[in-house]
Structure 1
């Protein structure tokens, strides 16, 4: 599906970069009771800081970034927005699929993750510098790959791609119950 941002008109482009120090956003899932975080090997890069609800969080285009994107998504949807565990589980799966596509198919060094909330809706975006469009393929029961956009299509209310002057944003939207 190509087209505008139905339900979320007026969102600005290009997306602003996030401020790494914004809102004191730490590693999602870290205990807040002052339990020390596990030590990482010196060679391991720290997880990026940033709040994808305030601006785009840039992540390196490597398979490990899917885990970071999943943790960020779960933290925002469960803790910050207080959404249901089932909706969060679906959104985390879809983020993983979009990030996987960005990492595997674009040749980019980085990609961006952004999350938006409007009355009755959430929107999650993955931006990359490639203008190559993702393709929803027919899926057979025994297929080992190619199910990503099929899942996005089935579990989201709507999804699409916005072409940008330098790249694209692939997004999905899900209905939520506002409290």
Structure 2
């Protein structure tokens, strides 16, 4: 799980930047990494972005979500933090449970809400399980259920799209 936006714990250090693991997180470094992710993978607001089904893709998806929600859409840090966390949970589920080689990430903004979609080729449905305080895993959909306004799964002819929506204030 990811801590607050300003913390270093739970954050992956980008490759090739020569920072030691004791380096401090900064918004400038995070913006640089997010711009790098946009260049490499594409903008999830312009169409579905394909990501490899590897644990590192959760970090890429978080960076893309942060760039879109905070910088492109201009929404506040609170909504950004929640969207980034929930994107990470959906991507983590796609990587761990679907057996896919690639999955897709898409982000859309509508009047009064944002929608994030993760598409994968598995038709296996995610399951919201009861969570205990002492559980070390299995909290992903619990967090999605608690922090989003709506979430669901759309079955496709080949796979599914797991999505969540959050209400936002339009300017």
* TM-score bracket, shorter-length normalisation: 0.7 to 0.9
1:70 aligned to which of 62, 67, 73: 62
Which structure shows the higher helix fraction?
Answer: 2
TM-score for both structures, normalised by structure 2: 0.78
- Equivalenced residue count is 139
What value does the CA root-mean-square deviation take over the aligned residues? 1.6
Kindly report which structure 2 residues correspond to 1:8-157, keeping only aligned pairs within 5 A, or say none: 29-30=31-32, 48-157=40-149
Aligned to 1:43: none
Q: Which runs of 5+ in 1 are unaligned?
A: 1-27, 32-36, 38-46
| Alignment check: 8 A CA contact 1:48 1:59 kept | no
Query: Where in structure 1 do 4 or more consecutive aligned residues deviate above 4 Å?
Result: none
Q: Distance in 2 between matches of 1:96 and 1:52?
A: 14
| Alignment check: 8 A CA contact 2:112 2:168 kept | yes
Q: Distance in 2 between matches of 1:103 and 1:75?
A: 22
Q: Distance in 2 between matches of 1:50 and 1:58?
A: 9
| Alignment check: 8 A CA contact 2:48 2:106 kept | yes
Q: Which has the higher relative contact order, 1 or 2, with Cα contacts under 8 A spaced 6 or more apart?
A: 1
TM-score for both structures, normalised by structure 1: 0.75
